């Protein structure tokens, strides 16, 4: 992965591979912290809210929606501030805020406190956006698919370790993983203070404009770049469809198979392991041989078939087989992101990442609430016909539509 080695005189020192490594570690540790809490969140909601699992799933969906709404509102602001003031201060602020949020969640006495914690976490989730802009700063355009693949791998490996540890720690109590996550985030903040240089040189910074720093302003900016809006539509529908996993996976496993916190952690860890392997080791080689479009299309097809499979699987062994087949879905996000970075100028990469995060979070906001409500509705006690799987069937239809739109977009660009 090539990095920028020269900057204007008196502006910035060269960005080293050590700094790039820190950014990847940041993504990794943020995901560890996030993954730590996932196996215990259903139990915490049940305990704090005194509700059953079907109600806890709906509350969890709204909680994730609060997280996504906060990211939707604040992500473009953070991305534009990073384009104006540089990546370093915004990235460190986001990491520190996340650590404080985990402490709040660990102490939360009511559901309202939990909701407040998820909102703060959404605001501080800009660390991913700024990290993406940092990587775009220090890599050549042709290297970005591989670089975003590395970021996806860091994301995936963090998701391996976080849920696995969180599931084990959850046996000690549902609040313990939050304290550990807080410690991880704050240690990462201190590490960043010591090693992270600025990647955005003064001549590539631009004036901050409030109209561009709100999510709807970001949508207007997308319209100025040829070919961006159709690709953003595909990406948004993809995120809406795949939000079925954060919306119901934990609740689905508990309701259908009786999984413990430790078992939830194992399944989430396997998710991360497979995604990390595909994104980190296969994105670059597959893209070099088959091209970004074909590999992304293959990922979408696999995603459609696998989510449909989850809706019909009846054994834990079958779940693990489907997880292996799930791997190519990990190609889609980094490759669509790489395609989009080639369609905007270099001084708007932070704005692009902020806007994409806004799209992602708006899609996941609606998706998590939608799929959580579907799960809660069809699994509510007292119903004549109950099913844990309807949400997966609907998600499969949405992913099939996403794949068709992507094919149409490719054909229109050839024309």
pLDDT value, residue 61: 87
Q: Which of 138-142, 208-212, 310-314 has the highest mean predicted lDDT (pLDDT)?
A: 310-314
Q: Which residue has the higher pLDDT, 324 or 220?
A: 324
Taking the C-alpha atoms of residue 121 and residue 64, their distance in angstroms, rounded to an integer, is: 10
Q: What is the 3-state secondary structure (H, E, C) of the chain?
A: CCCCCCCCCCCCCCCCHHHHHHHHHHHHHHHHHHHHHHHHHHHHHHHHHCCCHHHHHHHHHHHHHHHHHHHHHHHHHHHHHHHHHCHHHHHHHHHHHHHHHHHHHHHCCCHHHHHHHHHHHHHHCHHHHHHHHHHHHHCCHHHHHHHHHHHHHHHHHHHHHHHHHHHHHHCCCCCHHHHHHHHHHHHHHHHHHHHCCCCCCHHHCCCCCHHHCCHHHHHHHHCCCCCHHHHHHHHHHHHHHHCHHHHHHHHHHHHHHCCCHHHHHHHHHHHHHHHHHHHHHHHHHHHHHHCHHHHHHHHHHHHHHHHHHHCCCCCHHHHHHHHHHCHHHHHHHHHHHHHHHCCCCHHHHHHHHHHHHHHHHHHHHHHHHHHHHHHHHHHCCCCCCCCCCHHHHHHHHHHHHHHHHHHHHHHHHHC
Q: What is the pLDDT of residue 47?
A: 86
Cα(276)–Cα(156) distance, rounded to whole angstroms? 4
pLDDT of residue 414: 62
User: What CA–CA distance (Å, rounded) separates 296 from 405?
Assistant: 13
How many domains does one find in the chain? 1
pLDDT band at 50 (very low <50, low <70, confident <90, very high): confident
C-alpha dihedral over 360, 363, 366, 372, to 10 degrees? -70
**pLDDT for 211:** 63
Mean pLDDT, the chain, whole residue set: 82
Residue 205 lies in a domain: no
Tell me, yes or no, whether 12 lies in a domain: no
Report residue 1's pLDDT band, with 50, 70 and 90 as the boundaries: very low
Question: Is residue 259 a part of any domain in this protein?
Answer: yes
Q: Which of 165, 194, 335 is nearest to 265 (CA)?
A: 165
Alpha carbon dihedral 88, 94, 95, 99, in 10-degree steps, equals 160
Residue count of the chain, please give it.
415
Q: How far is residue 36's CA from residue 20's CA, in Å, rounded to a whole number? A: 24
Establish if 234 belongs to a structural domain: yes
Residue 139 to residues 3, 132, 133, 136, 142: CA-CA distances in angstroms? 5, 11, 10, 6, 8
Q: Answer yes or no: is pLDDT of 364 > 80.
A: yes
Task: Give the residue, 224 or 254, on which the prediction is more confident.
Answer: 254
pLDDT, residue 310, reads 97
Lowest mean pLDDT, pick from 3-17, 51-65, 242-256: 3-17
Residue 213 predicted with pLDDT over 70: no
* Average pLDDT of the segment spanning 250-259: 92
Domain contains 257: yes
pLDDT in tens, 174-209: 889 889 888 888 888 888 888 777 767 667 677 766
Question: How high is the pLDDT of residue 8?
Answer: 37
Find the largest Cα–Cα distance for the chain: 73
Q: Residue 241: its pLDDT value, please?
A: 96
**What share of the chain in percent tops pLDDT 90?**
26
Q: Which residue has the higher pLDDT, 8 or 307?
A: 307
Task: Please report whether residue 9 resides in a domain.
Answer: no
Q: Is residue 97 part of a domain?
A: yes
Identify the CATH number of the domain in which residue 405 sits.
1.20.1250.20
Task: Tell me if 113 is assigned to some domain.
Answer: yes
What's residue 344's pLDDT? 78
Q: Residue 67: name the closest of 248, 266, 246, 258 by CA.
A: 246
Q: Are the C-beta atoms of 208 and 350 separated by less than 8 Å? A: no
Confidence category of residue 13, pLDDT binned at 50, 70, 90:
very low
Give one word for 258, left, alpha or beta, with left for phi > 0 and alpha for psi -120 to 50. left
- For a pLDDT cut of 70, what percent of the chain falls above it? 88
What pLDDT is attached to residue 71? 77
How much is the pLDDT for 415?
A: 52
Residue ranges making up the domain that contains 407: 17-196+213-414
Output the pLDDT for position 4: 42
CA distances from 80 to 76, 275, 358 (A): 6, 30, 12
pLDDT digit string (tens) for 83-125?
877 788 888 888 888 888 889 988 988 999 999 988 888 888 7
pLDDT (mean) for 245-256 = 92
């Amino acid at each position: 992965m090539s990095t920028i080695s020269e900057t204007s005189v008196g502006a910035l020192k060269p960005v080293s591979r050590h700094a790039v490594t820190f950014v990847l570690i940041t993504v990794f540790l943020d995901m560890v912290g996030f993954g730590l809490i996932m196996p215990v969140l259903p139990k915490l909601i049940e305990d704090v809210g005194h509700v059953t699992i079907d109600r806890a799933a709906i509350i969890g969906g709204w909680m994730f929606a609060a997280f996504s709404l906060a990211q939707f509102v604040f992500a473009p602001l953070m991305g534009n501030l990073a384009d104006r003031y540089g990546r370093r201060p915004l990235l460190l602020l986001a990491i520190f805020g996340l650590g404080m949020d985990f402490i709040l969640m660990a102490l939360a006495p009511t559901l309202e406190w939990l909701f407040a914690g998820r909102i703060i976490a959404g605001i501080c989730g800009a660390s991913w956006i700024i990290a993406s802009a940092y990587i775009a700063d220090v890599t050549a355009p042709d290297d970005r698919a591989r670089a975003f693949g590395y970021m996806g791998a860091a994301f995936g490996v963090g998701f391996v370790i976080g849920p696995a540890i969180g599931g084990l720690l959850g046996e000690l109590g549902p609040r313990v993983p939050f304290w550990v996550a807080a410690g991880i985030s704050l240690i990462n903040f201190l590490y960043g203070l010591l090693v992270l240089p600025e990647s955005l040189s003064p001549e590539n910074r631009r004036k901050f404009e409030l109209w561009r720093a709100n999510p709807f302003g970001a949508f207007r900016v997308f319209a100025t770049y040829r070919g961006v809006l159709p690709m953003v539509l595909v990406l948004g529908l993809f995120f809406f469809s795949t939000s079925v996993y954060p919306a119901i996976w934990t609740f689905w496993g508990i309701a259908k198979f009786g999984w413990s916190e430790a078992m939830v952690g194992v399944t989430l860890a396997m998710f991360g392991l497979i995604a990390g392997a595909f994104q980190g080791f296969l994105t670059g080689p597959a893209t070099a041989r088959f091209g970004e479009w074909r590999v992304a299309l293959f990922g979408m097809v696999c995603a459609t078939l696998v989510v449909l499979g989850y809706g019909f699987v009846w054994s834990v062994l079958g779940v693990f087989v489907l997880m292996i087949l799930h791997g190519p879905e990990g190609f889609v996000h980094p490759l669509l992101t790489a395609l989009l970075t080639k369609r905007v100028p270099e001084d708007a990469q932070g704005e692009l990442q902020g806007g994409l995060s806004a799209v992602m979070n708006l899609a996941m906001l609606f998706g998590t609430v939608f799929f959580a409500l579907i799960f809660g509705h069809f699994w509510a006690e007292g119903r004549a016909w109950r099913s844990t799987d309807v949400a997966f069937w609907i998600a499969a239809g949405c992913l099939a539509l996403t794949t068709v739109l992507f094919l149409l977009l490719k054909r229109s660009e050839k024309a």
